[in-house]
Structure 1
Amino acid sequence: MSARRKGASGAKLSKTALSDSSGDMLDPRVMTTSLDEIHISPRTPRMDQDGDDELEMNLLGDEERRRAAPGFNGSARSHESETKRAISVRDKQGMVLLCVLYLIQGVPLGLALGTFLGNDLVHSSNCYLGSVPFLLKEHLSYSQLGTFALSSYPYSLKLLWSPIVDSVFSTSIGRRKSWIIPMQLIVGTLMMYISLNVQKLLDDPGNYVTELTVVFTSLVFFSATQDIAVDGWALTLLSPDCLSYASTCQTIGLNTGFFASFTVFLAFNSEEFAKKWGVPHLTLSGYLKFWSLMCYAVTLWLILFKREDKEVVTEADMSISGVYKQIWAICKLKHVQSLIVVHLFAKVAFAAHEASTSLKMVEKGFKREDLAIAVLIDFPFQIAGGWLAAKWSRGDRPLRPWIYAFWPRIGLALVATVLINWFPAPPISMGFFMFLILHTVLSSFASTVQFVGISAFHTRVSDPLIGGTYMTLLNTFTNMGGTWPKWFVLKGIDTFTIAECKLPGSNLELKSKVLECVTETGKTTCKQLSGECVIQRDGYYIVSAICMVFGITFLLAYIIPTARKLQALPTSKWRIKMQ
Structure 2
Amino acid sequence: MRTQSRPDSMAVSSSLSSIHISPRTPRTPRMPTLEDGEEDLELTLLGEDERQQAARDLGEQENQELLPESKRPISARDKRSMVLLCVLYLIQGVPLGLALGSVPFLLKEHLSYSQLATFALSSYPYSLKLLWSPIVDSLFIRSVGRRKSWIIPMQLIVGTLMLYISLNVQKLLDDPGNNVTELTVIFTMLVLFSATQDIAVDGWALTLLSQDCLSYASTCQTIGLNTGFFASFTVFLAFNSEAFAARWGVPQLSLSTYLRFWSIVCYLVTLWLLFFKKEDKEPASEADMSIKAVYKTIWTICKLKHVQLLILMHLFAKVGFAANEAATSLKMVEKGFRREDLAIAVLIDFPFQITGGWLAAKWSAGDRPLRPWMHAFWPRLIFCLIATLVVYWFPKPPITLGFFAFLIFHTVLSSFASTVQFVGISAFHTRVSDPLIGGTYMTLLNTFTNMGGTWPKWFVLIGVDLFSVAICRVPDAGMDVKVQATECVSDHGKQLCHEINGICTTEQDGYYIVSAICMAFGVVFLLAFILPTARKLQALPTSVWRVKMS
1:321 match: 292
Give the counterpart of 1:283 among 227, 233, 254: 254
1:181 aligns with 2:152: yes
Cα distance, 1:505 vs. partner?
3.3
Give the aligned partner of residue 419 of structure 2: 448
Q: Counterparts of 2:482 and 2:332 in 1: how far apart (Å)? A: 30
Q: In the aligned structure 1, how far is the partner of 2:465 from the partner of 2:65?
A: 54
Taking a change above 3 Å as real, the CA distance of residues 555 and 80 of structure 1, as seen in their structure-2 partners, is: farther
CA distance in 1, matches of 2:284, 2:272: 26
Task: Please point out which of 89, 101, 106 is paired with 2:93.
Answer: 106
CA offsets 1:184-230 (integer angstroms, 9 cap, x no match): 00000000000000011100000000000000000000000000000
The answer on whether the counterparts of 1:317 and 1:465 sit within 8 Å (CA) in structure 2 is no
- The correspondence for 2:281, drawn from 300, 310, 316, is 310
TM-score (norm: length of structure 2): 0.87
The percentage of counterpart residues that share the same residue type is 76
Classify 1:336/1:317 alpha carbon distance in 2 versus 1 (closer, same or farther; 3 Å).
farther
Q: List aligned pairs for 1:250-399, cutoff 5 A.
A: 250-314=221-285, 317-399=288-370
Residue 429 of structure 1 deviates from its aligned partner by: 0.4
8 Å Cα contact 1:340-1:474 kept in structure 2: yes
What per-residue deviation string (whole Å, max 9, x for no partner) do you get for residues 443-468 of structure 1? 10000000000000000000001000
Q: Distance in 2 between matches of 1:315 and 1:496?
A: 51
Q: Which moved more, 1:443-452 or 1:519-528?
A: 519-528
| From 182, 187, 190, the counterpart of 2:161 | 190
Inter-partner Cα distance in structure 2 for 1:516 and 1:167: 50
**CA displacement, residues 499-534 of structure 1 (integer Å, 9 cap, x when unaligned):** 1011233487x9466644445333221134442221
1:464 aligns with 2:438: no
Assess if the C-alpha contact under 8 Å between 1:501 and 1:517 holds in 2: no
In the TM superposition, 1:81-92 aligns within 5 A as 81-92=68-79
2:108 aligned residue (125, 130, 137): 137
Partner of 2:190: 219
Is the partner of 1:501 in helix, strand or coil?
A: strand
Q: Deviations over 1:421-444 (max 9, x none)?
A: 000000000000000000110110
Residue aligning to 1:491: 462
Q: CA deviation at 1:99?
A: 0.3
**Equivalent position amino acid for 1:418 in 2:** L
CA contact (8 A) 2:319 2:521 kept: yes
Q: Check the 8 A contact 1:517/1:526 in 2, yes or no.
A: no
Partner of 1:162: 133
Contact 1:494-1:518 within 8 A present in 2 as well: no
**Gap regions ≥5 residues in structure 2:** 1-21, 36-63
CA-based RMSD of the aligned residues comes to 2.1
Change beyond 3 A, Cα 1:360–1:5 = closer
Q: Distance in 1 between matches of 2:24 and 2:399?
A: 61
- Matched residue type, 2:195: A
Give the distance between the partners of 1:575 and 1:517, measured in 2 at CA.
52
Q: Which whole-Å deviations, capped at 9, do the CAs of 1:395-416 have from their partners, x for residues lacking one? A: 0000000000000000000000
The code of the aligned residue for 1:534 comes to T
CA gap of 1:312–1:390, structure 2 versus 1, over 3 A, is same
Equivalent position amino acid for 1:141 in 2: S
Of 309-318 and 551-560, the range deviating more from structure 2: 309-318
**What SS does the aligned partner of 2:476 have?**
coil
Structure 1 counterpart SS, 2:284: coil
Q: In structure 1, how many angstroms separate the alpha carbons of the residues matched to 2:286 and 2:464? A: 51
Q: CA deviation at 1:33?
A: 3.0
> For 2:230 and 2:318, how far apart are their aligned partners in 1?
22
Whole-angstrom CA distance in 2 between matches of 1:139 and 1:94: 44
Matched, 1:439 2:410: yes
The equivalent residue for 2:493 is 522
Contact 2:230/2:350, CA 8 A, preserved across alignment: yes
Describe the SS at the equivalent of 1:195.
Answer: helix
**Structure 1 residues without counterparts, runs of 5 or longer:** 11-30, 36-76, 114-129
Pairing partner for 1:239 from 207, 210, 213: 210
SS in 1 for 2:265: helix
Amino acid at match of 1:498: V
Question: How far has the Cα of 1:78 moved from its partner?
Answer: 7.5
Counterpart selection for 2:533 from 537, 540, 562: 562
Please give the secondary structure, in 2, of the residue aligned with 1:503. Answer: strand
Offset at residue 372 of structure 1 (A): 0.2
Q: Report the Cα offset of residue 109 of structure 1.
A: 0.9
Quote the offset at 1:312 in angstroms: 2.4
1:79-115 Cα deviation digits (max 9, x unpaired): 85222210000000000000000011111110011xx
Report the CA distance shift for 1:80/1:567 in structure 2 as closer, same or farther (over 3 A): farther
Amino acid of the residue matched to residue 471 of structure 1? M
2:453 maps to which of 482, 485, 502 = 482
Q: How many residues align?
A: 497
- Tell me the amino acid that sits aligned with residue 112 of structure 1: A
Alignment of 1:38-53 (within 5 A): none
Question: TM-score when scaled to structure 1?
Answer: 0.83
Matched residue of 1:318: which SS? coil
Equivalent position amino acid for 1:442 in 2: L
Alpha-carbon separation, structure 1, partners of 2:286 and 2:119: 41
**Which residue of 375, 379, 388 maps to 1:408?**
379
Rounded to whole Å, the distance in 2 between the matches of 1:170 and 1:406 is: 43
